[in-house]
Structure 1
Amino acid sequence: MAKELEYSATLTGASFLLYELKQVLKLKEQGLSDFEIKKKVIEENLFDYKVTSSLKRIIPSVIRRANTLDVFLKELVMNSPLEVGKIINLYAIMKTDKLFFEFMNELIREKLNNNNYLLEKKDLNLFFITKAEQSQKVAKWTELTINKLKQVYIKLLYEAGFLTDKKSGELSRVLVDEDVKRHLKDVSDTAYLKAMGE
């Protein structure tokens, strides 16, 4: 479980990034170290970004996500259909971001379990208000940071397939690939499966 993680707002600068994750995994396959990957991505602009400062900001998050995946999951991200990669990427985001995991586990899971397929603004507001009451760190974040995180969370849900429409907030159940499901159970990561409504 992600107990050793602290709350962080790094997702404001690093959203879904599945394409970027695949690029980093390719470099890892070639035996490059995290430092070499970071250097190569920035020097050769491997993500094709217009601004290199964006690269410097997001590459640590992408490397962190890549490092949470074992050989089996890395293989699936590289060689499976896009939908499978999306779910594994979402799992990696939850493993590296405590607050987003809690958002999935406490809010999205509950809604899916209750067959409530509507994510409203008030749900997001209540989630962040509750977290600010529970954590001094979250309480110190500016309104701008909180609003940015809300936007990122909506975007992540949409890109992973849990949100069919960003405007209406209509949620959808995502089918987790059987191999992924079995593997996460085998490695005792069922908490993340449950957070995805499984």
Structure 2
Amino acid sequence: MVIELEYSSSLNGASYLLFELKQVVKLQQKGLSTQEIRNIVVDENVFQFENKGRITRTLPSVMRRAKVIDSTLASLLTEGSVEVGKVINLYAIMKTDLLFYEFMNEVISEKLQNSDYLIEKKDINLFFTAKSEQSDKVASWSIINTEKLKRAFLQVLFESGMLKDRRGKELNRLIIDEQIKNHLIHIGDTRYLRAMGE
């Protein structure tokens, strides 16, 4: 299933959300409809958020990610190790967020291919400058929105294990489970593996 993506800054309010994605995928595995899942998540506070408003902000992103995870990846996500879950979540974020995918593909993957394990502020700034020159939509975002988005990108890198520490600049290579690798190749999603540095 190909989803035509547009640039979006939705990662601002919904950066990593691995726990939340697992909860939604578990409900999907029970055969519940999108609406039933939404109702359960909100009524039972499945995400365990203190603030109900945060559920309504993050749920659309989590639902989008859950939709791109097929039954094989769903089983690996819910039954596999935390490391396996992190890789699948990173894949789902890239698959549903065009700007983040391009960042991974054009900045992170390139650095890893060149054995350059430092991600610096200028790398992120150059990426966003280039995108705002290519896209009126990105150019229209406020400076505050763009700065928040840069932080959200780094947060995803950190939580997925690609950034060694939250405030640091040093990149890690992900160890991608063979089952995930083989499955993504099988379903024609090799470009996401490449974007993760494979």
4+ long deviations beyond 4 Å = none
Q: How far has the Cα of 1:57 moved from its partner?
A: 0.6
Query: 1:81, 1:3 → 2: CA distance?
Result: 28
Match of 1:115 in 2: 115
Query: 1:166, 1:25 → 2: CA distance?
Result: 27
Q: How far has the Cα of 1:30 moved from its partner?
A: 1.6
Q: How far has the Cα of 1:2 moved from its partner?
A: 6.4
Matched, 1:101 2:93: no
Q: How far has the Cα of 1:84 moved from its partner?
A: 0.4
Match of 1:27 in 2: 27
Aligned AA (1:28): Q
Gaps of at least 5 residues in structure 1 are none
Q: Is the 8 A contact 1:2 1:96 kept in 2?
A: no
Q: How far has the Cα of 1:141 moved from its partner?
A: 0.3
Aligned residue pair count: 198
Q: How far has the Cα of 1:3 moved from its partner?
A: 7.0
What's the secondary structure of 1:163's corresponding residue?
coil
Mapping of residues 133-148 of structure 1, within 5 Å:
133-148=133-148
Q: How far has the Cα of 1:35 moved from its partner?
A: 1.1
> TM-score, structure 1 length as denominator?
0.98
Q: How far has the Cα of 1:39 moved from its partner?
A: 1.3
> What is the identity percentage for the equivalent residue pairs of Structure 1 and Structure 2?
54
> TM-score, structure 2 length as denominator?
0.98
Matched, 1:56 2:56: yes
What's the secondary structure of 2:117's corresponding residue?
coil
Query: 2:36, 2:163 → 1: CA distance?
Result: 36
Match of 1:196 in 2: 196
Q: How far has the Cα of 1:65 moved from its partner?
A: 0.4
Query: 2:43, 2:136 → 1: CA distance?
Result: 38
Match of 1:182 in 2: 182
Query: 2:131, 2:63 → 1: CA distance?
Result: 27
Aligned AA (1:120): E
Query: 1:2, 1:11 → 2: CA distance?
Result: 20
